[in-house]
Structure 1
């Protein structure tokens, strides 16, 4: 039960986003719902449709949801001969004492421990208080949106006093060699170094992962050990397996060896990532360029997706397929953040940025120019771009992506950078 009445957000779709840009959809602030059974009995077709659409959201992926019509009468009849689920969502057009009487009838057939969400058609604070006194977990006023349903269910099964769950960012390349791992590592570094937020890079490319090399780390243990025994994962084991890269950045490294094959189970991967997510504010998932069941699940269930592509035909085709999949399966989430990488390779014919964006109906968040000396030096030295050249255009692009992902304002940074550049041009330093 939440502490206050569930409120409806009137600020939906005030402005239509520009075509091709990542839509500024207000994120659904809800934790994934555990494996529970939910039965909904609706009076209105629109309410039933909203609950059905909510059941298809990634946050309810573990829950088993059934939606029926008939309201309280159908629910009472149904549960006279069967046990009640973890959660019942009940809709009624009645109000006042009539609604309370109907819910009392439902309570007579409910098993202990069953929670109830009531959907009504009257905004009545006194009625809400009376419902809460009678054990109803929440009262929601119709019409209801998909986001409201997801957040309402999540609020019931999440401890409001616990620290917020971290956010996961899945980095995936449209094609092998597009530079997704480089984008992942440098963006996570920017989040930790510039924003001072605790971050973890999870290298999921077990045989060929480069995160250890990029940070000049050679940890003895890492993600492979966690995936081998997911049932043992807790905060203590997580701290032992993580390799510290800086004050605010840790690495869940891949073994990077070929002495054995690595078969990743979807459930094991989910268990390990949930543990990381519950202990770290930002989790950067370096997803290899494969489309297995577990890899697809990681991408689809991430809070944010960053798609890195180079401006050629194969990247465009693959990027289009990935974007279409994400739009179909993540209908309540922001579209992926597109990063165009390796732009401007000498003598290579390229698809223009404009044509690439139009084909995907998605504008790139950042465009990273080809700079072989800079990126080659960073890779060979086990450093990030910002460490090699803090004022380079590429470093600024990674900082921009970090600020965009975290919904931060970069004005302070830009002002500082401008001042530093201005003083440098005069041969002065800020400390002079």
Structure 2
């Protein structure tokens, strides 16, 4: 009767829920279970801008409050009665509810006739208990999305567990794989405004970039973003960093939010190349992203920092999948390394890719301003970047392992683990 909402908080669709605008939501719960669910949903990263208040007492409490108080943007009411009692309760609520307020109901009766009756009476949605927090977040979000609105783009934050581990190189090559290998429109955003390398890696030197957008929020719109993007290849554009030291790049936590919102509204995938620093805005870039990819090398400092990032993400993003892990520059000759299995066990995260140490290949690409696929289209490292691209976009299930020329190296790594 109602739409089937996915309750697995780690599913791909869950990550594509649009953030809520600055609205007020008041929930009137009849049971402790639904009250806890609403509180959990209110803590979701996509609900950050909304103000959510939870009341007990069900519909009776709502009617009593709204006799003298204005109604909010959204009312959630839990109704536990029969079909006839639910309809009667909503009729009484309608008498004190403003016409602009959106109402949706959580009920305990699975009845298609009731659902149709509630829709005719102006109820926006009817969900049958039990519901998951992500169900509520998705429903709230869809209340404010136009029926003909374009799908929401997905932000992918790549962050290094330590400086110099190659997070930027990995993010750029994965963006190339998404754009060229999967044929999906992608934008790379270089957030290292002082020292960013995306312009060098893609052999681009645009006169303007992300600094013009973030320093001129009053002029920010889709047309400005379009002018600032540098075309790197088919389906791939770059919002470059100025990479100059003529001013300090100190920003408020939400300074980049309008840029992300505009990009997500126009591009399916936005790759955030997050610098290795911890400020209010870089922290927000990581924790508010739809997918987090931690790039690390197998040593102790990387393990500690990656563990801190994973633990923070799990605490702050309870309805999202844990961060993805990419081990880069693995199997450096004569370098002591933490075994892959030990590294994974400490984080409770399996790496989605182990990229071997290939200094000649990666050094040549960096100095030429090219991607690995441009330097050597047949090199097996490209398969790893494509596999990461599939994993973070969710556009295709990770393939069952296929034998490659890298198998002997991977076997040695795993044997050491």
- TM-score of the alignment, normalized to the shorter chain, above 0.5: yes
1:179 to 166, 185, 191: 166
Report the alpha carbon displacement of residue 414 of structure 1 after superposing the two structures with TM.
Answer: 9.8
C-alpha separation in 1, matches of 2:87 and 2:233: 58
C-alpha separation in 2, matches of 1:260 and 1:45: 52
2:75 to 76, 83, 88: 88
Report the alpha carbon displacement of residue 8 of structure 1 after superposing the two structures with TM.
Answer: 4.6
1:61 to 48, 55, 60: 48
Give the SS at the match of 1:109.
coil
Q: Which residue of structure 2 aligns with residue 5 of structure 1?
A: 2
C-alpha separation in 2, matches of 1:309 and 1:262: 26
Deviates more, 1:229-238 or 1:154-163: 229-238
Report the alpha carbon displacement of residue 347 of structure 1 after superposing the two structures with TM.
Answer: 1.8
1:392 to 369, 379, 384: 379
Matched, 1:194 2:181: yes
Report the alpha carbon displacement of residue 412 of structure 1 after superposing the two structures with TM.
Answer: 10
Contact 1:215 1:382 in 2 (8 A): yes
Report the alpha carbon displacement of residue 408 of structure 1 after superposing the two structures with TM.
Answer: 3.5
Q: Which residue of structure 1 aligns with residue 102 of structure 2?
A: 115
Report the alpha carbon displacement of residue 238 of structure 1 after superposing the two structures with TM.
Answer: 1.2
Report the alpha carbon displacement of residue 410 of structure 1 after superposing the two structures with TM.
Answer: 7.7
Give the SS at the match of 1:268.
coil
Report the alpha carbon displacement of residue 97 of structure 1 after superposing the two structures with TM.
Answer: 2.6
Q: Which residue of structure 2 aligns with residue 429 of structure 1?
A: none
Give per-residue Cα distances to partners, 1:72-128, cap 9 Å, x unaligned. Answer: 111111122211110000011112232212111111111231111111111111211
Deviates more, 1:388-397 or 1:372-381: 388-397
Q: Which residue of structure 1 aligns with residue 301 of structure 2?
A: 314
Report the alpha carbon displacement of residue 29 of structure 1 after superposing the two structures with TM.
Answer: 4.2
Contact 1:6 1:152 in 2 (8 A): no
Q: Which residue of structure 2 aligns with residue 371 of structure 1?
A: 358
C-alpha separation in 1, matches of 2:115 and 2:103: 13
Matched, 1:70 2:57: yes
Q: Which residue of structure 2 aligns with residue 31 of structure 1?
A: 18
* Structure 2 unpaired stretches of 5+: 405-417
Give the SS at the match of 2:157.
strand
Contact 1:226 1:272 in 2 (8 A): yes
Report the alpha carbon displacement of residue 60 of structure 1 after superposing the two structures with TM.
Answer: 0.7
Report the alpha carbon displacement of residue 6 of structure 1 after superposing the two structures with TM.
Answer: 3.0
Matched, 1:159 2:159: no
Matched, 1:359 2:356: no
Deviates more, 1:148-157 or 1:172-181: 148-157
Q: Which residue of structure 1 aligns with residue 321 of structure 2?
A: 334
Give per-residue Cα distances to partners, 1:388-411, cap 9 Å, x unaligned. Answer: 112223222111111112224489
Give the SS at the match of 1:168.
strand
Give the SS at the match of 1:338.
strand
* Structure 1 unpaired stretches of 5+: 14-22, 419-432
Give per-residue Cα distances to partners, 1:217-276, cap 9 Å, x unaligned. Answer: 111000000001123222211110000001110000000011111122322200111111
Q: How many residues align?
A: 404
Give the SS at the match of 1:127.
helix
1:233 to 200, 203, 220: 220
C-alpha separation in 2, matches of 1:75 and 1:342: 59
Q: How much is the aligned-residue C-alpha RMSD, in angstroms? A: 2.0
C-alpha separation in 1, matches of 2:309 and 2:399: 35
Give per-residue Cα distances to partners, 1:259-297, cap 9 Å, x unaligned. Answer: 111122322200111111111111000011111111111
Give per-residue Cα distances to partners, 1:296-316, cap 9 Å, x unaligned. Answer: 111111110110001111000
Contact 2:252 2:281 in 1 (8 A): yes
Contact 1:6 1:138 in 2 (8 A): no
Contact 2:174 2:386 in 1 (8 A): yes
Question: 1:332/1:248 Cα in 2 relative to 1: closer, same or farther (>3 Å)?
Answer: same
Give the SS at the match of 2:105.
strand
C-alpha separation in 1, matches of 2:397 and 2:359: 27
Give per-residue Cα distances to partners, 1:149-177, cap 9 Å, x unaligned. Answer: 11111111111211101100000000011
